[in-house]
A and B are shown apart, each in its own frame.
Chain A
């Protein structure tokens, strides 16, 4: 039975976001609320402004991270949940000449998109805050190009789509890291300080 495939693909696509959720979000109720209602964020903020000043909502970095992750998880879930549901069953794809790596490719692309959405969220927030239109444009075109890359999936040229997507993900991660205030020196410093 490919229940194993189901769990395998599920863990590939949602394992990292799940760890992110467990380790960084689930302890704080407000973050959970932001995560779930990422799309209704504007409304949420409005309400909280009308009501009380909430310092939590004002931490832009966390807010952007949590909202981006929430958006990513939702978009990932929407694109993968029905595919995963098909995976529970005795068979796998390929009867009509499709690639046997369909599930794996979907899972990996979904993971990349969830991560990308998180990073885009962070970059986008910062870009807007700092009126940095180059970063803004980067997010916009990055999204466009990554989506365009997935067009290769249809012809099963996964080699042409997935590695570039992951390279872009790494680059975006670096940008997000930088936008969040990190730098290579800090990483070194962090490692050193921990060692001490």
Chain B
């Protein structure tokens, strides 16, 4: 009767201080008649011609654009949408990035305070494409992604068998329908749903959660272990950072290969290379801090929290993992250089590396000098295989974690390394299509070169005597973080300075709760219980109501017939009564008892037929 289809990838609801974005289904799910849209005529059918609304159109990626989806939704004739995209399907040439053209605008350094740079006035970092801003629309309908071959086949088969118009005319009921169910608990905005979370608790009951702040952990490591009882010199720590998260319109389907992973690999590789040569680095009072910030796509959650903590001298590991390790409580003034790796791998073959600077902090002489020196150093260290270019000194930083630190303290000198100058080269930034299936040797080679470049730059910054290292060119996607393979040996202890810090926006901290904050991320994610999608045949209203009508008629008819029968039964069964029982000897006994009974009481105590008395009397 029902056939479940893939329901792993769907759009969920998220909220900030003022809005909610994403998808929502009715309580119990949205039902709609399936319509596979292959061309504009089909679209027209769903939008106007078809008479079986609500529909749930199944679109291929070519028709899965913001304009079409909005048109469909605003027509009021759809109750959901499905994107059909097989694993081998080609990616759209025009790009597919559901993020904003100016990611994280309104947060970071360039807010209204520096209006010249706010809202990307000069250039939009994320190039406009058909899917632009899909992520930030309050759809109010469910949107699902099907990638599974079997599910797509079942859905299209069901459509072809039952729904596909023949010669332009509508098919008869029952029609193939789909039910999408991923009910989101949260609504309105973060202040509302957080307030609802804190409703008084009824004992023994099941408290319902509406939303959770988007939060996770930053991964932090230092090259040399630190201790909280040793003082750290000001401007002595070099921070090498990257972001850890990507997103897509569909939950559980955000690989972020070029948006994130290449930078993460490079940073891991830098750390690995430096750690291998740690003995060669003479005793120095400098240190290197490797930072992987999480939640950066949601208005810089990880970095803003880290900068917030550092400013308040409260930068410490979360308790329940590394309780014994007490690293130095670093502050913003300890940071000497900040090097951020952001989308570092070339999306299309290129060997250019762009260095971005912040025009505001570079107005300070000290910062300007340090940054200029750093850029010189990088240029010096760059080999032939990498061209290092500076972006325009007056153009602002791209969206980057570094902005969070500058926002707290403009005296930090830093740069952002990337593969783009004015626009992302990655056409699939923050989308489910941002993946790389093949082993790309050129990219790996390039990443290895960048590793060497960054590692050598850091060595020069840390060490007095310079020496060059070369990263292993076989770095591949086999780091534990990626592969997560279980150690097949008996287990081992790793002595490490690595620790986790909380990546929860300062807006949600107990001592400074501000759900309507405009300076820190207020993103929360709705709680939902389940996601389900199933195919079935939907009967016509006529069929349903005629069944009900038939039921009612039969019931009433039977009632009347039985009523009449009951009234006349004594007459109908009258004369033959004695014949039935005459052979039954044992029954005579009972009858005689009955007679006695009547004799005594004179009333009917039994429920036997009134005619029974007649029978009995005649027998007597």
Contact between chain A and chain B defined by CB under 8 Å: yes
Query: Which A residues contact B (CB, under 8 angstroms)?
Result: 2, 4-5, 7-12, 15-16, 18-20, 22-24, 28, 30-31, 53, 55-56, 58-62, 86, 89-96, 100, 103-104, 107, 111, 126, 129-131, 179-183, 186-187, 189-191, 193-194
B150 contacts chain A at the CB level, 8 A cutoff? no
Q: Contacting B571 at CB < 8 Å: which of A10, A93, A193?
A: A193
Asked whether, in the complex, the Cβ of B548 is within 8 Å of the Cβ of A4, the reply is: yes
Q: Tell whether A126 pairs with B580 under 8 Å between CB atoms, given A55-B590, A89-B2, A194-B568.
A: yes
- Which residue on A lies nearest to B3, using beta carbons? A95
Question: Smallest distance from the beta carbon of B487 to chain A beta carbons, Å?
Answer: 47
B572 x A129 contact (CB < 8 A):
no
Partner among A12, A30, A86, A90 whose Cβ is within 8 Å of the Cβ of B551: A12
- Contact assessment for B536 and A61 in the assembled complex, using a CB-CB cutoff below 8 Å: no
**Roughly how many angstroms separate A53 CA and B579 CA in the complex, as a whole number?**
24
B158 at interface, CB cutoff 8 A = yes
Interface contact tally, CB-CB below 8 A: 179
Instruction: Label chain A's interface by main secondary structure.
Output: helix
What mask results when residues 589 to 615 of chain B are scored 1 for a CB within 8 Å of chain A, else 0? 011011001000000011111001000
A90 with B31: CB separation less than 8 A: yes
Determine which of A23, A31, A90 lies in contact with B607 in the assembled complex, contact meaning CB atoms within 8 Å. A31
B536-562 interface (Cβ within 8 A of A): 536-539, 543-552, 554-555, 558-559, 562
B583 touches A55 (CB 8 A): no
The contact of A186 among B179, B543, B572, by CB within 8 Å, is: B572
Q: Which of A2, A24, A90 has the most CB of B within 10 A?
A: A90
Shortest CB-to-CB span from B280 to chain A, Å, is 69
Query: In chain B between 565 and 579, which residues have their CB closer than 8 angstroms to a CB of chain A?
Result: 566, 568, 571-577, 579
Q: Given the complex, which residues of B lie within 8 Å of A2, measured CB to CB? A: 539, 544
Q: Which 6 A-B pairs have the closest CB atoms?
A: A91-B536, A15-B555, A11-B551, A8-B547, A181-B576, A16-B558
From B558, B605, B607, contact of A15 by CB (8 A)? B558
Least CB distance, A79 to chain B, in whole angstroms: 17
B551 to A9, Cβ gap below 8 A?
yes
Q: How far is the CB of B138 from chain A (nearest CB, A)?
A: 25
Chain A residues positioned under 8 Å from B158 (CB to CB) = 95
A19 surroundings in chain B (CB, below 8 A): 555, 558-559, 562-563
Contacts A19-B555, A181-B573 given; does A5 touch B539 at CB 8 Å: yes
Across-interface contacts of B177 in A (CB, < 8 A): 90-91
A129 in contact with B583 (CB, 8 Å) = yes
Listed by A's residue number, 12 A-B pairs whose Cβ atoms lie within 8 Å are A8-B549, A11-B548, A16-B554, A16-B555, A55-B594, A55-B597, A60-B580, A89-B1, A91-B179, A181-B575, A189-B571, A190-B571
Interface residues of B in 510-557 (CB under 8 A from A): 534-539, 543-552, 554-555
Is B584's CB within 8 Å of the partner chain A?
Answer: yes
Which residues does chain A contribute within 8 Å of B176, judged by CB atoms? 95
Chain B nearest CB, measured from A4 CB (Å):
4
Q: How far does the alpha carbon of A170 sit from the alpha carbon of B243 in the complex, in Å?
A: 79
Nearest chain B CB to A155's CB is how many angstroms away? 18
For residue A15, give the distance in angstroms from its CB to the closest CB of chain B.
3
A8 partner residues in chain B, CB cutoff 8 A: 544, 546-552
Neighbouring B residues of A186 by C-beta, 8 Å:
571-576
Residues on the A chain within 8 Å of B2, using CB: 89, 91, 95
| Cβ-defined partner of B538 (8 Å) among A91, A131, A187 | A91
Pick from A8, A62, A91, A104 the residue with the most CB of B within 10 Å: A91
Q: How many chain B residues touch A (Cβ–Cβ < 8 Å)?
A: 57
Q: What residues on A are CB-neighbors of B547 within 8 Å?
A: 4-5, 8-9, 12, 103-104
The smallest C-beta distance from A157 to any residue of chain B, in angstroms, reads 20
- Cβ-based interface call for B587 (8 A): yes
A9 to B554, CA, bound (A): 10
Complex CA–CA separation, A180 to B491 (angstroms): 84
Of the candidates B539, B577, B608, which one forms a contact with A62 in the assembled complex, judged by CB atoms under 8 Å apart? Answer: B608
CA A93 – CA B2 in complex, angstroms? Answer: 8
In the bound complex, do residue A93 and residue B537 qualify as a contact, i.e. CB atoms below 8 Å apart? yes
Interface pair A90/B538, CB less than 8 Å apart: yes
Give chain B nearest CB distance to A73 CB in angstroms: 14
**Can you list, as one digit per residue, whether each of B327-338 has a CB less than 8 Å from chain A (1) or not (0)?**
000000000000
Interface contacts beyond A4-B547, A19-B558: sample of 20 additional A-B pairs, CB < 8 Å, sorted by A:
A4-B548, A5-B544, A8-B550, A11-B555, A12-B554, A20-B558, A23-B562, A23-B566, A55-B597, A55-B608, A58-B590, A61-B573, A62-B607, A62-B608, A90-B538, A91-B177, A94-B174, A95-B1, A186-B571, A189-B574
Using Cβ atoms and an 8 Å threshold, which residues of chain B touch A180?
A: 573, 580
List residues of chain A with CB within 8 A of the CB of B608.
55-56, 59, 62
CB distance from A153 to the nearest CB of B (A): 16
Report the Cα distance A96→B3, complex, angstroms: 9
Inter-chain CA distance A92–B179, complex, in Å, is 13
B477 at interface, CB cutoff 8 A: no
A40 to B608, CA, bound (A): 22
Quick check: B605 and A93 within 8 Å, CB to CB? no
Q: Given that A8-B544, A190-B571 are contacting pairs, would A15 and B554 also be in contact in the complex, using a CB cutoff of 8 Å?
A: yes
Q: Which of A8, A11, A56, A95 has the most CB of B within 10 A?
A: A95
Min Cβ gap A96→B in Å is: 8
Which residues of chain B have C-beta atoms less than 8 A from A4's C-beta? 544-545, 547-548
Q: Collect the chain A residues with CB atoms within 8 Å of residue B587's CB.
A: 58, 60, 129
0 or 1 for each of B85-100: is its CB under 8 Å from A? (1 = yes): 0000000000000000
Chain B's nearest CB lies how many Å from the CB of A125? 10
User: What is the CA–CA distance of A28 and B440 in the complex, to the nearest angstrom?
Assistant: 85
Question: Nearest Cβ in chain A — how far from B92, in angstroms?
Answer: 32
| B residues in contact with A55, CB < 8 Å | 590, 593-594, 597, 605-606, 608
Contact A23 B559 (CB under 8 A): yes
By the criterion CB–CB under 8 Å, are B537 and A92 in contact? yes
The residue that A56 contacts in the complex, of B537, B554, B576, B607, with Cβ under 8 A, is: B607
A94 to B1, CA, bound (A): 7
Complex CA–CA separation, A180 to B302 (angstroms):
86
Query: Can you list, as one digit per residue, whether each of B350-388 has a CB less than 8 Å from chain A (1) or not (0)?
Result: 000000000000000000000000000000000000000
Task: Give which listed residue, A95, A126, A193, contacts B536 with CB less than 8 A.
Answer: A95
Residue pair B179, A90 in contact (C-beta under 8 Å): yes
Q: How far is the CB of A26 from chain B (nearest CB, A)?
A: 12
